[in-house]
Amino acid sequence: MCPGSYDPVTLGHIDIITRASEVFDSVVVGVVNVPVRKATTVFSAEERVAFIEAEVADLGNVQVKPFYNLLVEFARENDAKAIVKGLRAISDFEYEFEMNQLNRKMAPDIESTYLMAAPQFSFLSSSGVKELATFGGDLTGLVPAAVASRLQEALKR
Ligand code: PNS
């Protein structure tokens, strides 16, 4: 299970999903369809799912699904053995450590695992990309081309 808000998916997310698909037999990308610490999303869950599906179409063992419940419940519904998350910097650790403890308490049988971000993506975040798009910055190499144009349309001031 590779969970996230993916608003929008970045090339860093795609790298983690691709690497997870090489380690695990089967990968479900879970797209959160409830606001998590964020009031609104730029893209609907359906749009976020579609952006990811377009990028993982060549990976035979990856499915993309929205979810509306607790991550561990959704993981169970999909018979997931592990939750896979990407870690960029030490700043990610505190939040992920908290999530890890909460998820472990609810579902000790589902192991959370972490893949280190590739160096070229270690600075990359969906929120940073949205800020760049708002001010007309170049999104090349940060998000898929289709996402870049839709994001610029949606956010350009
Ligand atoms: O950083 P993100 O992409 O917004 O992370 C989303 C998610 C679901 C991976 C993160 O919030 C998490 O690990 N949540 C665990 C707690 C939970 O199940 N919350 C309710 C569903 S969002």
Contact 2, 26 (CB under 8 A): no
Q: With a 6 A CB cut-off, is 106 part of the ligand 1 pocket?
A: no
Residues 94-148 pLDDT 10s = 999 999 999 999 999 999 999 999 999 999 999 999 999 999 999 999 999 999 9
Q: What residue owns the CA closest to ligand 1's atom 20?
A: 70
Confidence of residue 38 (pLDDT cuts 50, 70, 90): low
Q: What is the mean pLDDT of the chain?
A: 95
Count CB neighbours of 128 within 10 A. 13
CA nearest to 89, candidates 123, 112, 56: 123
Q: Which residues of 64-90 are buried (b: 16+ CB within 10 A; e: fewer)?
A: bbbbeeebbebbbeeebeebbbbebee
CA of 36 from ligand 1 middle (Å) equals 7
Q: Which atom of ligand 1 is nearest to the CA of 126?
A: 3
Residues 65-79 pLDDT 10s = 999 999 999 999 999
